[in-house]
Structure 1
Amino acid sequence: MDLEAAKGEAAKGEAARGPATAPGCTLPPVRIAVVGAGPSGLATVIALMRRFHRPFEAWMIDAEDAPGAFGDGPAGRALTSEPARDLSLLPDRPDDFTRWLKDNFLSGGTVTALRGPQDLHAPRALFRDYGMARFGEALALRRDVCIRTVSATVRHIGLDAGGVRLAFRAGESAHFDHVFVATGFGFVQREAASWQEAAAVADRLSRQENPPPLTLVGNGPRLAAILLDLRARGFAGAIHVAAAAGRLPQPHGRGFGGMVFGEPPTSRSLRDAFHYVRQECSSAEARDGGQWQTVVDAASARLSVVWRNLPQAERNQYRRHLLRLHRHFSIRIAGDVHRRLAAEFETGRTRFMPPRDPKMADGNTIDCREAPAARALAGLLGCDVATLSVDDCGRLLGHGRIVDGLSVVGAVASGLRPGPFTFAETVRQAYRSVLSAPLSGSARLSRG
């Protein structure tokens, strides 16, 4: 549904048409916007339906993609960057995706006998199907809820005493009681566009006699998936990977569950915080075999704790100097994908190049970067990203004060504070933000 259609139906008080709308839906008193229709946005809407027990209307707003579109086409054939054990949409049932896979695909099968579905990196299309199944189940139980899917690009976020107004690129605007920002790839970038553009450029270059290299900009899971997809499609030309890190995305290791940590420092110094993290991780390394992924994951878990004591200036120093490095070693890919990438670079057909700005590049360059969603949010608010932060409950803070009407989930929150860069953390953020959002004084929120 486009923006104008959604506004028209909302004005008439009619139910939005389509499979994402509850039958018999009427205009509810609470209006909510969820910016982003990917996994983070899906998790947020499911959390709202499961935990906010009052009639509401929610707009799922995305630049172009509809809910579940992240699993369409070649993007759906790519493997999830995290194993099934970390991809539950229900925080009270952390093995939910694992059980869904087993019940629907693996019951009695060889894979279950050998390893168990919890270790699988499933195709993203399967995770999409799981997410839409849980979305549909939650919606079926909430006949007092209306979900509208809106294709629009957010241009500005304005705050006033009555709530939040979103202005869109087409010149329209809409007012909401509360807005959850849950976009993973920025506010205007569509994930599917990278796949489509890469396939089109590869096809064009394949028809040339002496084609120039195809350049992919980025160094994350999306870059890895698109590169391998191009080779699987038969593209044999040279590929240049333009990345500041000049390294492959990192593979997963063992988890760090069950580790015991000491009390975090009360110091308000980033230096003291990292000294504590290093000390705790050294102890973990000695106890748990020294696998570097375990150490980095342990550090991520502790950073979210010590963050609470740091003043804004120290937080800004982390974001300026350490966030990019932290993300590189924390956001990982399947071990099998990492091995295939390493083998691809060994052929010599694919090699790293110095970083370049895709906006200044030629038509053979594809932007596969993970968009800086936190900086984009600051631009929409008309402020400096250094003035923003987010608390444990997903509430946005400006200059240390809560910004009424705005919560952030997923990649946006990860750009504003350290912590585990995992989907499980995103789901926890979604539920915390729903439970803490002051949607209405009379609204009853379930904490069960």
Structure 2
Amino acid sequence: MKKIAITGLGYSGLISAYEILQLCENIEITIYDRSAANGAGIAYNSHCNSHALNVVASKMSAIEDKADDFTKWLLDNSLIKEEGVADTFFAKRQYYGKYLLSILVDMQQRYHDLVKIIRVEVIACNKLSDGYKLTMADGRLAYYDAIILANGNTYDSNKINDNRYITNPWDFGYLEKIKTGVHVVIIGTGLTLVDIILGLQEKGYKGKLTAMSRHGLLPTTHQFYKEPMLNYVSEFLANNPNVRITDLFSIVKSKAREAVSNSHDWRNVIDSLRPYTQKIWLKMDIVNQKRFLRHVRAYWDILRHRIAPDTAKQVKSLIDSKGLITIAGRLKCVQTNDQNIVIAYQARSKRNIDYIHADYLINATGISQNPDSYGVLFKQMLADGLIRWHENGFGLAMENDCLLSSKENVYAVGPLTRAYLWESIAVPDIRKQAKRLALQISDDLHK
């Protein structure tokens, strides 16, 4: 009997365990998570009614081989009336969290002798001649044949010792302490900002919100179109075995202009890239990957990661009423005093420094790029050479899309692999990756 440890019980950890149990025989899995996560993780653990998925329900099955699994769950729980609705329905995120919990419960019932969950932090992983030794925060030791890192999203640790600075934007307990009328400044203008806005409004907040990012760009909105997918990407890849970001940007911009001039939807140009984004990323050298992250990422994020139409209406209404102001600028420094928080920033295309006085400051910059943010286990594994941080700075270095090194039975899945794959944070990407991981585990442990 082979033994596997998984660190993290968000979606990545849950679906990896599920796929391995479906495919592999004579496998025991232990999932470690110090939190109370039950498959939802940070992304789908929201209790705000206003927080919706950013993808239509019909595309959000958690299981690769069951395309309509989430749709069936919604029907079974009377959350939609007919199957066709799922093609245009942006379900509440709390619904999705309950759906993932149902998968976890079913998995535990079906495989109760083969899977267990331990609520403790893993603080060390040491290689042995015949496997790996894990050390827990409470001193316990456990031994495994393979390790899967599925820690998911994390955030930068608190660099300001002040309870008016909200480090973790996904711990929505702060919504209760922010009183109406105060000035809240948010660093970041992406999807996390939208969550914060909707959460505050749901709690009855009325006041001034200021959001800042380098470009000051807000997410675009989903629209439904009937145009067939474009086929320009396969031809581009055939002609560009080594992708340069300037060439890619040029063709995407050209196709978008062509679409708009023909009264077609520009979204189709971006969506037609979707099946190829990982291939494109892997064809870029490190110079072009860094160039993309530095110059193109902000635009890619708003065009690729869109929000539901109803959500967009709420954000627009807030902007129109001057309840939300966005600033394109670079944060320079933050100082605190008894009265407020003082934020110094340099507006885009300006040389002088401006200042904002806030009652609360919220970090909404997204997933941390700092390996130290991932805890003591990562620090130890990095120091011992069991894992490496990718040269582009966005996650772990990988041998392939699941395996960290050909010399180790140490694997990763989900957001930790985005440096290697780029697109590995959304459910449709992770469920495919988890399926491939199960196949690789089966091959590696049964050689």
Q: Which of the numbers 65, 72, 87 marks the counterpart of 1:99?
A: 72
Measured in 2, the distance between the counterparts of 1:337 and 1:307 equals 30
* Contact 1:251 1:338 (C-alpha < 8 Å) held by counterparts: yes
Residues 203-246 of structure 1 show CA distances to partners (whole Å, capped at 9, x for unaligned) of 3xx4xxxx651222322323212211211221112122232331
Change (3 A) 1:128 1:67: same
Residue in 1 aligned with 2:431? 427
Aligned residues: 399
- Is the aligned partner of 1:245 residue 2:218? no
Residue in 1 aligned with 2:311? 337
Measured in 2, the distance between the counterparts of 1:389 and 1:317 equals 18
Shift of 1:135: 2.3
Measured in 1, the distance between the counterparts of 2:136 and 2:48 equals 27
Residue in 1 aligned with 2:365? 369
Residues 70-97 of structure 1 show CA distances to partners (whole Å, capped at 9, x for unaligned) of 5556346521122102210111121211
Partner amino acid, structure 2, of 1:135 = L
Q: Which of the numbers 361, 384, 390 marks the counterpart of 1:385?
A: 390
* Aligned-residue RMSD, C-alpha: 3.8
- Is the aligned partner of 1:51 residue 2:52? no
Measured in 2, the distance between the counterparts of 1:305 and 1:267 equals 10
- Is the aligned partner of 1:150 residue 2:119? yes
* Contact 1:102 1:117 (C-alpha < 8 Å) held by counterparts: no
- Secondary structure of the structure 2 residue equivalent to 1:307: helix
Measured in 2, the distance between the counterparts of 1:41 and 1:358 equals 37
* Contact 1:281 1:299 (C-alpha < 8 Å) held by counterparts: no
Partner amino acid, structure 2, of 1:119 = T
- Comparing 267-276 with 164-173, greater Cα deviation is found at 164-173
- Is the aligned partner of 1:226 residue 2:222? no
Shift of 1:151: 4.0
Residue in 1 aligned with 2:88? 119
Shift of 1:365: 1.4
Residue in 2 aligned with 1:21? none
Change (3 A) 1:355 1:276: closer
Residue in 1 aligned with 2:58? 85
Change (3 A) 1:187 1:350: closer
Partner amino acid, structure 1, of 2:267 = Q
Residue in 2 aligned with 1:60? 32
Shift of 1:105: 1.0
* Contact 1:374 1:416 (C-alpha < 8 Å) held by counterparts: no
Measured in 2, the distance between the counterparts of 1:297 and 1:37 equals 30
| TM-score, reference length from structure 1 | 0.74
Identity %: 16
Higher helix share: 1
Shift of 1:119: 1.8
Measured in 2, the distance between the counterparts of 1:72 and 1:267 equals 41
1:14-413 aligned within 5 A: 29-33=2-6, 35-62=7-34, 65-68=37-40, 70=42, 71-72=44-45, 74-75=47-48, 78-106=51-79, 109=81, 112=82, 116-152=85-121, 162-164=130-132, 175-186=143-154, 194-200=171-177, 202-203=178-179, 206=180, 212-254=182-224, 258-261=229-232, 262-263=234-235, 264=237, 265-271=239-245, 274=248, 278=252, 281=255, 285=259, 290-353=264-327, 354-356=329-331, 362=341, 364-372=360-368, 375=371, 381-382=382-383, 383-386=388-391, 388-390=396-398, 393-396=401-404, 402=406, 404-413=408-417
* Contact 2:125 2:135 (C-alpha < 8 Å) held by counterparts: yes
Partner amino acid, structure 1, of 2:361 = T
Measured in 2, the distance between the counterparts of 1:69 and 1:420 equals 15
Change (3 A) 1:421 1:39: closer
* Contact 1:80 1:122 (C-alpha < 8 Å) held by counterparts: yes
- Structure 2 gaps, min length 5: 158-166, 342-358
